[in-house]
Amino acid sequence: MSEKFEVGSVVTGKVTGIQPYGAFVALDESTQGLVHISEITHGYVKDVNEHLKVGDEVNVKVLSVDEAAGKIGLSIRATQDAPERTEAPAKKAPKKRQAAVKATMNDSNEGFNTLKDKLQEWIDQSQREDLIKK
């Protein structure tokens, strides 16, 4: 299998099957490989069927050859030029700073007790014999 198809070579194949995760491409009568959905074209591919159909002739680049598993990884995207960016990326608006909140220490007994206040109480409770479960 690898004698015919080396990693990096570009060959022509025919789409033989389409799955949600990619397309199977026949490279010859006995060899077939998979073009993963991420390797079909530049940009996002939601549905393989929007880009390929069974019977299409495609140029593919061999990405990987796994002799033991009998799998060949292919890419159509690698045979195409990347599209030029015609528009500059949108600039993000600067983040607004939040106003600093000034914490005021409140000695009143309102609200929650702090751990520091409760710690001594818990230590005392843990040492009381009448609260220890037997």
DSSP per-residue codes, the chain: -TTT--TT-EEEEEEEEEETTEEEEESSSS-EEEEEGGGSSSS--S-GGGT--TT-EEEEEEEEEETTTTEEEEESGGGSPPPPP-SPPPPPPPPPPPPPPPP----SS-SPPPHHHHHHHHHHHHH-GGGS--
What does pTM read for this prediction?
0.58
Domains of the chain: 10-79 (2.40.50.140)
Check residue 101 and give its pLDDT.
65
Check residue 2 and give its pLDDT.
45
pLDDT, averaged per 10 consecutive residues of the chain (134 residues), comes to 76 92 90 91 89 92 88 90 71 72 60 77 81 65
Check residue 105 and give its pLDDT.
59
**Could you give phi then psi for residue 107, rounded to 5 degrees?**
-90, 5
Token couple for 34: 């998979």
**CA 66: distance to chain centroid?**
24
Q: CA 33, CA 61: separation in Å to the nearest integer?
A: 11
Check residue 87 and give its pLDDT.
65
